[in-house]
Amino acid sequence: MSTVREIQGWTSAVGRSFRAALTMERVLSEPGAIVRAVLAVLAAAALGGLTGDPLAWVMMSVGAFICGIGTLLAPVRHRAVNAFWLGAGFSLAALAGVWLHQAGWYFLIALAALAYLAGLWRALGVAPGIRACLVVIGCMITADLAATVEVGLVMVRWMATGAALTLVAQLLPPYGRRHPAQRKALAALYASLAAYARTEAEGAVGHPAPAPFTAARRALDLLPRFARPGAAPLYGLLVEAERIRRALLLAADTPKAPHAEIAEALDSVARALRASRREPLAPHIARTLETWRGPVAEELLPSLNEAGRLVGLWADREQPGGPDPVLTLFPAEHPARAALRRLGSAARPGDPLFPHALRV
C-alpha cells in the first residue's frame, strides 16, 4: 500500500513540475523585450536565407537567438548597452573558441576555467551570471564545431552579425523614461510599504519586508557616476522610504492613525514611479492627511510629502540646479573595482557561490 502511495506521489510531483515548466514566468516576459528578440531572430533567419549559405543561415540565427536570450533578462542598465556588451563578449568568446579548437581535447581545460568564471559572475547579479554563461556557450560552439580556422572565422563572422541584429532590435521603440529597473525597484519598495500600512489598519503586527529595500539599493548602486545627478530624485526617494519605514513602525502603536490613507499615498508614489507621471491623491485622502496631528504625524507626513515632491520632480523631468546633497549618501564605487571585489569574495571557498561556480 505504501508503494502505491509513493508511486502516486511521484506521479503527482512529476505532473506538477511539468505544468510549472510550461508556465511563463512574468518576470522574464516583458512583451517589448520578447518582440525585439523575436524580430532579431526573424531578421537573422531571413538575411541568412538570402545568402544561400546554410552555415550563414544557422550561425546568424544562433547569434541572434543566444544574444536575444540575454536581452530578455531583467535589465538594470539600458537594453542597448546590455545587447552591445553581450554581443561583443559572445563574439570574442566565439573567436577564442576558433583557436582553442586547434588544441584538441585540451580546450576543455580552458572551457572549464571559463565556465568557472561564469559561475562566479553570478556575484554581480542573476542576469549578469546568465549572460556570462551565454558568452561561454559562444566559445564552446566554435571550439567544438570549427573544423578549420577558416571555417571558424566564417562562423564567428555570421554569429557576430546575428548579435549585431539583436543590438539593432534594441534600438527600436518604444523608449520610455530612463532607468526603468531603478524605477521598478523603487515602485516595488513603496508598494511594500503601502501593503504594510494596510496590515497596520487591520491590526496585524509585523515589520516591513527588508528585501525591497535591498533590491532598490542594489539597483541604484549600479548607476554610473555620470548618470546619478539626473537620477537624484530616485536616490532621494530611497532615503525617504527608509524614514517612512521607521515612522510606520511608530504608527503601528497609534490606533487613530489614518493607515488606509497613508497606504493610498504610498501607492500613489509607486504608481507614479511605474508610469513616470504624476498620480495626485484623491481630495478626501489629502484632507485626512493634512488634518492629522500628533507626534507620529510630525514624523511621517514630512517624509510622505517629500516623497510626493520628489516623484513629481522626476515625472516633470526637472533637473536639480546643482549637485544634490542626497548623492553624498551614495558614493559611487568604480565599477571595475566593485566587480573585482565581488568576484574575489565569491571565489573564496567559504562563499555560497563557490560551489555554484564549480558546478557550472
Question: Where does the pLDDT of residue 116 fall: very low under 50, low under 70, confident under 90, or very high at 90 and above?
Answer: very high
Delimit the domains of the chain by residue range.
27-170, 180-329
What is the 3-state composition of the chain as percent helix, strand, coil, each rounded to the nearest 5? 80, 0, 20
Whole-number pLDDT of residue 1: 55
Whole-number pLDDT of residue 26: 46
Average pLDDT rounded to a whole number, residues 333-341: 73
Question: Where does the pLDDT of residue 28 fall: very low under 50, low under 70, confident under 90, or very high at 90 and above?
Answer: very low
Confidence check: pLDDT of 127 > 50: yes
201 compared with 131, residue with greater pLDDT: 131
Give the Cα separation of 18 and 23 in Å (integer): 9
The model's pLDDT over 307-317, given as tens digits with 9 standing for 90+, comes to: 999 998 888 86
Q: Which residues of 22-53 are buried (b: 16+ CB within 10 A; e: fewer)?
A: eeeeeeeebeebeebbebbbebbbebbeeeee
CA distances to 58, 116, 170 from 42, rounded to whole Å, are 12, 33, 14
Question: Where does the pLDDT of residue 72 fall: very low under 50, low under 70, confident under 90, or very high at 90 and above?
Answer: confident
Give the Cα separation of 100 and 94 in Å (integer): 10
Whole-number pLDDT of residue 342: 74
Confidence check: pLDDT of 337 > 90: no
Q: Which amino acid is at 336?
A: A
Average pLDDT rounded to a whole number, residues 99-116: 89
φ, ψ (nearest 5 deg) of residue 222: -80, -10
Whole-number pLDDT of residue 16: 73
Confidence check: pLDDT of 76 > 60: yes
The model's pLDDT over 182-204, given as tens digits with 9 standing for 90+, comes to: 899 999 999 999 999 998 777 66
Question: Where does the pLDDT of residue 27 fall: very low under 50, low under 70, confident under 90, or very high at 90 and above?
Answer: very low
Cα pseudo-dihedral 342, 343, 349, 354, rounded to 10:
110
> Hey, what's the cell of 1?
500500500
Confidence check: pLDDT of 15 > 90: no
Whole-number pLDDT of residue 200: 77
pTM as predicted: 0.72
- What residue has cell string 508598494? 191
Average pLDDT, rounded, for the chain = 85
